[in-house]
């Protein structure tokens, strides 16, 4: 069970986490891609972004960076931002605090970033405080494409992002095997749609 649009109550409960960006007199969208680098999905994303002169943020899994170092370097060389998404994609609710933090530190040996996104969006308040004390900004989202949901049609995935994205939105996609069918369909159409409306796509900092 997941929500495409992050409810305001959740944002109020976790005010120190970042859910969207306040942008002034500019139409800006912040695309984010979780769980890469992946040998097929990530090059597809990079190519598609390039066609629209779009920048984005990639929350990488440390283990995948170790397995796909060339693709990881391509992300950086194309001036996208990267973020830490733990080394083994741990669920904070199910992981002891020390193990959770150690896994982030392990990922940080290959991912040089001050941005962090908790896998599954699951992080306890205490873990969040520890991560912030390590000087990370914790980046959540306000629009979840649902591309990881194998029961969701690619058309519905596109509709999720078209109907819910607004100025300053942080939108989640996944450069992963599971999401690829929906990602491949929805990402180019979303970029086309919002580019036509005068939006630009930027990396988080």
Catalytic positions are 34, 174
CB of 51 to Zn ion, least distance (A): 25
37 binds Zn ion (CB under 5 A): no
Q: 102-110: which pairs have CB atoms within 8 A and are 24 or more residues apart?
A: 103/62, 104/131, 104/134, 104/136, 106/62, 107/60, 107/61, 107/62, 107/65, 108/62, 108/84, 109/62, 110/62, 110/65, 110/66, 110/72
| Total number of residues that touch Zn ion (CB under 5 A) | 3
Nearer to Zn ion, 37 or 199 (CB): 37
**Would the CA dihedral through 69, 191, 136, 14 be positive or negative?**
negative
CB of 140 to Zn ion, least distance (A): 12
Contact characters 60-99, Zn ion, x per CB under 5 A: ----------------------------------------
147 binds Zn ion (CB under 5 A): no
- Window of 32-40, 73-81, 160-168, 195-203 that interacts with Zn ion by CB under 5 A: 32-40
What are phi and psi for residue 190, nearest 5 degrees?
-65, -45
Nearer to Zn ion, 160 or 176 (CB): 176
Nearer to Zn ion, 174 or 199 (CB): 174
Question: Applying CB under 5 A, which of residues 19, 32, 34, 152 lies at the interface with Zn ion?
Answer: 34
**Would the CA dihedral through 131, 82, 161, 35 be positive or negative?**
negative
Nearer to Zn ion, 57 or 194 (CB): 57
**Pairwise CA distance, residues 136 & 8, whole Å:** 23
Q: Classify the phi-psi angles of 158: left when phi > 0, otherwise alpha if psi is within -120 to 50, otherwise beta.
A: alpha
Residues 104-123 that bind Zn ion (CB under 5 A): 119
> Applying CB under 5 A, which residues contact Zn ion?
34-35, 119
């Amino acid at each position: 069970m997941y929500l495409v649009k992050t409810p305001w109550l959740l944002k109020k409960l976790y005010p120190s986490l970042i859910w969207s960006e306040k942008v002034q007199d500019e139409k800006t969208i912040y695309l984010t891609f979780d769980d890469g680098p992946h040998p097929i999905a990530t090059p597809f994303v990079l190519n598609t972004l390039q066609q629209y002169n779009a920048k984005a943020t990639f929350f990488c899994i440390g283990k995948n960076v170790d397995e796909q170092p060339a693709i990881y370097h391509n992300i950086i060389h194309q001036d996208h931002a990267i973020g830490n998404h733990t080394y083994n994609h741990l669920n904070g609710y199910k992981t002891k605090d020390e193990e959770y933090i150690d896994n982030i530190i392990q990922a940080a040996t290959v991912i040089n970033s001050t941005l962090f996104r908790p896998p599954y969006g699951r992080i306890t308040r205490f873990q969040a405080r520890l991560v912030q004390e390590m000087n990370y900004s914790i980046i959540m989202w306000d629009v979840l494409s649902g591309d990881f949901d194998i029961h969701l049609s690619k058309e519905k995935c596109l509709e999720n992002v078209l109907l819910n994205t607004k100025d300053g939105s942080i939108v989640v996609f996944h450069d992963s095997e599971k999401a690829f069918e929906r990602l491949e369909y929805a990402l180019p159409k979303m970029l086309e749609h919002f580019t036509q409306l005068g939006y630009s796509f930027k990396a988080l900092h």
